[in-house]
Amino acid sequence: MAPVWLIPLCAFIAAAIAFAIAWRLSRRQALLPVKAIGAASRAILGGDLSARAGLAGTGELDILGQSFDAMADHLKGTLERLKEQEGFLQALIDADPDGVRVLASDGTILMANKAYAHMLGIEPGNVLGKRCYESSHGRSEPCAPTLITCPLHEIAVNGLPVKTVQAIRLKGGLDRHVEVHAAPLVASDGRLLVVESIRDLASDIRFSHEQKLSAIGQLAAGVAHEIRNPLASVRLALQSLIKQGEAGRVNIDSLMDYLRLVDSQVDKCIDVTTRLLKLSVNQSGQLQIVPLRTAIEETVSLLSFEAEKNKIEVSLNLPAKELSVMAADGDFRMVMLNLFQNAFHAMPDGGKLTVSASADDKWVDIEVADNGIGIKPDMMSRIFQPFFSSRADGVSGSGIGLTICKGIVERSGGAIHAVSWPGGGAKFIVRLPRPGLL
């Protein structure tokens, strides 16, 4: 018969062995899988998408770990595809030569291309996260929508695309005029975003100025004629005075007549140069109130010699009451000059140029019509394209005059189009905003 103490000892040993076996089994089947899954979760949370639990057993926690690894594989693939798509989208907008930025409803810049950063003179990495008014206008608070056309505000109110001209602030503190095209974009989560395309107008303004100088150069013969005639009269008057002085027969009345003649002829020369200067001045694109009759009559006068030489009759049918348009004065005159010269080119054998205008409460329409050869139907859609030229007088033109005209008119908030007739003749209609009844 065994001692009494042996039975409890055996029971204790058996319990210890059972506990050890249970501990080992629970550690293998529960604690280690949970630890592996936890470690992999923390690693993925820290950004290591390659971390896995790596469990190969058949237990429930092993199967859970394997499902976790499959989910991690899917997550990694999805994030890689999203990153690839984001890179493609960034490369896509970086390929745009104009500045592009995507704004949240509060003006935060969510995405921008390299051209936008280059335009401002800053590094691309210093763009994202800033507010639009801080980035491009150097402001600490939003722009007042009553003082400036804010695309973000306009789209929030109307939900429609916006086009406007603004001055942005560069890194060095200088301002630069840009043309902004903005459109609404609804994100997948329902947020309203705004996409802006920002075009630097500096090159357009410079290109327009070069076209002005080219067009003015074509006026050289007419301007020389208008200045030469008054100068010839001045010379004759002075020669007469010299002869009278040499003969000792200077009469005070005759002297005053000659001086008045000289004074009037000098005024004519000054008037010609003044009209020419109004064409050549390099406007910044700032809109102003332009008196229609004055601008058209002064521009036509510069072409009087050319009209006479080419046997072209110019008829102005303008309203008796003065009309005004909103435009840059020099730019408007250049549009008219280009359209008048185009009409002259369409009438190499002479003809009639008619300029008329009409208005309603908001718009002024200026029509420039000729009875020349007209515009062929297959060319009508191309006449405003850059470098397209088809002159009736056989001269090779630059092909940018009408392109510049279209750009100037549209930047002024207007529109331009042309019509032609089968029997010949063409008409250009320029529509510009009216500042109001003066």
Lowest mean pLDDT segment, chosen from 133-142, 186-195, 247-256, 323-332? 247-256
332, 295 in Cβ contact below 8 A? Answer: yes
97, 119 in Cβ contact below 8 A? Answer: no
Res. 369: pLDDT tops 90? yes
What secondary structure letter does DSSP report for 49? T
Q: What is the pLDDT of residue 187?
A: 85
- In CATH, the number for domain 206-433 is 3.30.565.10
Cα separation, 196 vs 136, in Å, equals: 12
Q: In a 10 Å sphere around its CB, with 0-12 CB exposed, 13-18 middle and 19+ buried, how is residue 45 labelled?
A: exposed
Res. 19: pLDDT tops 70? no
The more confident residue out of 237 and 73 is 73
Radius of gyration of the chain (CA): 39
Res. 13: pLDDT tops 70? no
Q: What is the pLDDT of residue 193?
A: 92
Q: What is the mean pLDDT of residues 367-381?
A: 85
CA distances from 146 to 151, 153, 157, 263 (A): 12, 10, 13, 51
Q: What is the pLDDT of residue 267?
A: 75
Res. 350: pLDDT tops 80? yes
Give percent of the chain above pLDDT 90.
13
Whether CATH 3.30.450.20 fits 96-200: yes
Q: What is the pLDDT of residue 282?
A: 47
Q: What is the DSSP string of 212-226?
A: HHHHHHTTHHHHHHH
Res. 214: pLDDT tops 60? no
Cα separation, 184 vs 255, in Å, equals: 75
Q: What is the pLDDT of residue 392?
A: 47
Q: What is the mean pLDDT of residues 397-404?
A: 65
The more confident residue out of 349 and 281 is 349
The token duo for 124 is: 């691309």
Reference 87, options 109, 113, 119; nearest CA is 113
pLDDT digit string, tens, across residues 258-290: 777 777 777 767 766 666 665 555 455 578 888
Res. 428: pLDDT tops 60? yes
Pairing mode, strands 351-359 and 312-317: parallel
Res. 212: pLDDT tops 90? no
Q: What is the pLDDT of residue 396?
A: 45
Residue reference for tokens 């080992």: 24
Residue reference for tokens 């204790």: 12
pLDDT digit string, tens, across residues 84-115: 888 888 788 888 888 899 999 999 999 899 98
Reference 32, options 61, 60, 73, 58; nearest CA is 61
